A and B are shown apart, each in its own frame.
Chain A
Amino acid sequence: MSDPDATSSDGATVVDDPQAPSLVERLQQFREREATVIGLTAIGVALFPWIFARAPVISDLLLGYQNLAALMLIWAIFAIGFDLLLGYTGLLSFGHAAFWGGSAYVAGIVSLRVSSDPIVMVAAGTIFAVLFAWVLGYLSLRRGGIYFSILTLAFAQMLYYMSAAPLASLTGGENGLTGIDVSPLFGSFHLESELPMLAGELLGTWMYAFVGVITVAAVGIAYRILNSPYGMVFRAIRENEQRAKFVGLNVWRYKLMAFIVSAGFAGIAGSLFTIHGSYVPLQSLFWTESGEIVIMVVLGGTASLFGPILGAGLYLYIENIVSGIQQLQVPFTDIVLINDFGTYWHLLLGLIFVVVIWTAPRGLWGGLSDLRTAVESRLRGEDR
């Protein structure tokens, strides 16, 4: 079985011969591939903050900083989960702000009233998101297509208005939830403090290490789900929902599971967002957050494991760094091209989005894989 990112490219070239690898061998291959995926993710996550924020020349060019690196991973977790629903199952939710913001609030409220242990905060936020998704999914999945999208949007907006006024005593209303305290990890490691020695140089803070470990775990779990029977059923539902029903699958329950799993990822990410910022803005429940995650995933590439991570990173980069550029200059000169360049970041993002979708409908990651396949076949052709 080829991995989900390369189904079409691998599938066309491999021809099943009588000496096809046995199931045991295939399972062995899978284990190795899984270890590779998780290993490479771990290496990437470990090197990223150094390259982004501290490496000579590169980090100066990128203008990256430590805090943003962690925030990118947090959104990446959200995006991975969202792609399970949008890219693999083919369901467009416009209400995932409810799980992102909802779990952020729950983590914050738990910290203020129960325990400020970061692990307890993440667990509480995630459990909330999963249970809440059960209810919202149950109500929204009654309808398909655009009606499902609108229902999720409506429920999420209801939560937004609930937090703004009726629940203001709990949520801080318009001001958001402030004064959130986060205890040291395992009672001894302050998240804001530097890691010792080489780890400190590479990863920076305990905060990043905490977020990074959860990110790698999230990638591992998502990879497992995509290669489990679920992953196959999810794609079957996306491909042909009616046929999936008529092979005897309870499509409705599988869709509900996809919804709950994706909300679980959003819950982990939302809780980390609170831990990371020590603050929950009311904005985190607003519908624009639901829109942002859709843009990130589509930009990066749906139905791939790493596309959404790429999309989340690029989006946050433009939002946080490009928006801060005062003047766009021709490199290594003083010639100013555009003044107040940063204020146009929404426009720039829109342009990038349009160009990417025009040239690579499967997003940046899909475009890159197509490019790789094309180059490979070109090379193979020249060898002959």
Chain B
Amino acid sequence: MSTDTDSNTDIESTDVSNTRTSTTASDDVLLETRGLTKEFGGLVATDDVNIRVERGEQVSLIGPNGAGKSTLINLITRRLEPTDGDIQFKNSSIVGLDPHEVVQRGVSKSFQTASIFPDLSVRENAEIAGLAAENGAFDFKLLTHRDSLTDVHQRARDTLEAVGLLDSADETAADLPYGDKRRLEIGIALAAEPDLLLMDEPTAGMSPEETNATVELIEEVKQALDLTFVLVEHDMEIVFNISDRIIVLNRGRVIAEGAPEDIRGNPDVQEAYLGGADL
């Protein structure tokens, strides 16, 4: 990539963020990063990233490999400590919190792989997530039987119904087909009824049918729960279909931001992201 392109895209991103800042009321802002920077040794993974996500928005994060997408997600979920900058969620900083505290505040994450509890039943998987949502990060009820926790059970049931796994509730999670494991994974993330759901490549490794089913699931859940999404995804078709807004990262920087149609036609994005090919 030439330095020429870089300077162009810098101007572009500044323009975009300026217009956004002027048009949004701060009440609607759910998540905001301010000058978020993460360095690994000498390598800058995210460089002064300023993004805003409003309530009810469906934002996709795209960019070539090594653009800093995963780093950004990991910074927001507090798996990584930022080198510099701040992350505001619901107008308060979440820097310095433990990952589970961030979840308790309303940020859930679905992983790139099917991160489930393999040896437990599907129902138990949902119950664990429900337990964390109903009873908080830690509870002292050592001798209460878990079948007496009606709220947790109801929530687990609702969750499994929402992701269409109620019929497999008694199966061992490890025995599910891969697509169902991913659905369960998304279910676990949803059980907390988060305000913001971060999805790291939800269709990675799926067959075309499974991918379609997952996209439908995301659409359903979005309408049912009025969720705000940040989606990291490689499949451009999905990105352009289900996003309200797309943020393009390259080399740790935001190079463009806007509605799908703007991004599709943006020559800088084409240049940076696909080496000039049509999106």
- Report A's interface with B, CB cutoff 8 A: 1-2, 7-8, 10-12, 14-16, 23, 26-27, 30, 221, 224-225, 227-233, 235-236, 239-240, 242-251, 253-254, 257, 261
Contacts and interface: CB of A to CB of B under 8 A. Distances in A.
A236 B139 contact: no
B111 interface: yes
Contacts of A246: 77, 99-100, 103, 108-109, 111, 115, 189
B104 A248 contact: yes
Nearest to B109: A246
Contacts of A27: 145, 147-148
B141 A229 contact: yes
A231 B170 CA distance: 18
B115 A228 contact: no
Contact of B144 (A229, A233, A244, A249): A229
Contacts of B131: 229, 232-233, 249
Given A232-B146, A236-B128, 20 more contacts: A7-B172, A11-B121, A12-B171, A14-B170, A228-B141, A229-B149, A229-B152, A235-B119, A235-B120, A243-B111, A243-B117, A244-B117, A247-B103, A247-B108, A247-B129, A249-B100, A250-B98, A250-B100, A253-B138, A254-B138
B137 A248 contact: yes
A31 B133 CA distance: 26
24 contacts: A8-B119, A16-B166, A16-B168, A16-B169, A27-B145, A27-B148, A221-B143, A225-B142, A228-B144, A229-B135, A229-B144, A229-B152, A232-B127, A232-B131, A232-B146, A235-B119, A239-B117, A243-B116, A245-B100, A246-B115, A248-B132, A250-B100, A251-B100, A261-B142
A235 B125 CA distance: 10
A95 B42 CA distance: 41
A225 B188 CA distance: 23
Given A11-B170, A11-B172, A229-B139, A249 B111 contact: no
B169 A240 contact: no
Contacts of B189: 246-247
Given A15-B170, A235-B117, A247-B128, A228 B146 contact: yes
B167 interface: yes
B47 interface: no
Given A23-B150, A27-B148, A228-B144, A240 B103 contact: no
B6 interface: no
Contacts of B30: none
Contacts of A248: 100, 103-104, 132-133, 136-137, 192
Contacts of A8: 119, 172
B19 to A, nearest CB: 34
B175 interface: yes
Contacts of B253: none
A237 to B, nearest CB: 9
Contacts of B127: 232
Interface in B175-203: 175, 188-189, 191-192
A50 B115 CA distance: 50
Given A246-B103, A248-B104, A240 B118 contact: yes
A242 B172 contact: no
Contact of B119 (A16, A239, A261): A239
B127 to A, nearest CB: 6
B153 interface: yes
Nearest to B191: A247
B124 interface: yes
Interface string B89-122: 0000000001110011000110100011111110
Contacts of A251: 100
Contacts of B139: 229
B117 A227 contact: no
Given A16-B170, A239-B120, A248-B100, A30 B128 contact: no
